[in-house]
Amino acid sequence: MRAEIRTTDHAGRSRALGHQYRARRRRSAAWQRDTGAGRYAERGCALCHGEKGGGGPSGPLVGGGPLNSTDRDPAKLIGNYWPYATTIFDFTRRAMPWQQPKTLTDNEVYALTAYILALNKIIGENDVMNAETLPKVKMPNRDGFISKYPEKH
């Protein structure tokens, strides 16, 4: 009898926890989405990289055609060239915004990284980027690098 009560309580409690957990996950996806777009606007990223990363005086953060075309000097961008998503975090954290580097918190940099990846349609708008999920993102050109010295690997 006792055990039964405990079982019931336990099930109720894990339902409640599951509900809280899902609510928090929804909040954090929304927080990250709003923060990514918000900081992009507030910190002037668009002045140099254009609205939604579409291109400005310092180049686009979105787009990029195939690299194996006949174009001698194709634009090598995040979406068509960069092999690792973590580089977006690292570069933005160390160097952006250009005129005020190191003024963004790590959470803001994760949000901006998620924003840039979502604009490139590499992740979904509700995917949350953090220390666990970001390294698992497979970049489109991940397998596009050929070693010049394969015998050394």
Can residue 58 be called a binding residue for ligand HEC (CB under 6 A)?
yes
For residue 89, what are the contacts with CB-CB under 8 A and spacing of at least 6? 109, 110, 113, 129, 134
Of residues 93-132, which lie at the interface with ligand HEC (CB under 6 A)? 96-99, 112
Cis peptide leading into residue 97 (ω within 30°): yes
Burial of 92 (0-12, 13-18, 19+ CB in 10 A): buried
Amino acid at 90: D
| CB-CB contact of 77 with 119 (8 Å) | no
Which tokens in the block code for residue 36? Answer: 């990514």
Interface with ligand HEC, residue 43, by CB under 6 A = yes
Nearer to ligand HEC by Cβ, of 109 and 128: the residue is 109
Q: Quick one: tokens of 88?
A: 């977006």
CB 56 within 8 A of CB 49: yes
Stretch that binds ligand HEC, among 26-34, 41-49, 118-126, 132-140 (CB under 6 A): 41-49
Task: Decide if residue 134 touches ligand HEC (CB under 6 A).
Answer: no
- Which range in 12-20, 26-34, 90-98, 120-128 contacts ligand HEC by CB under 6 A? 90-98
Q: How many residues bind ligand HEC (CB under 6 A)?
A: 18
**Contact with ligand HEC (CB under 6 A): which of 32, 33, 35, 45?**
45
The yes or no reply on residue 78 touching ligand HEC (CB under 6 A) is yes
Which residues contribute to the site for ligand HEC (CB under 6 A)?
43-45, 47-49, 58, 61, 77-78, 88, 91-92, 96-99, 112
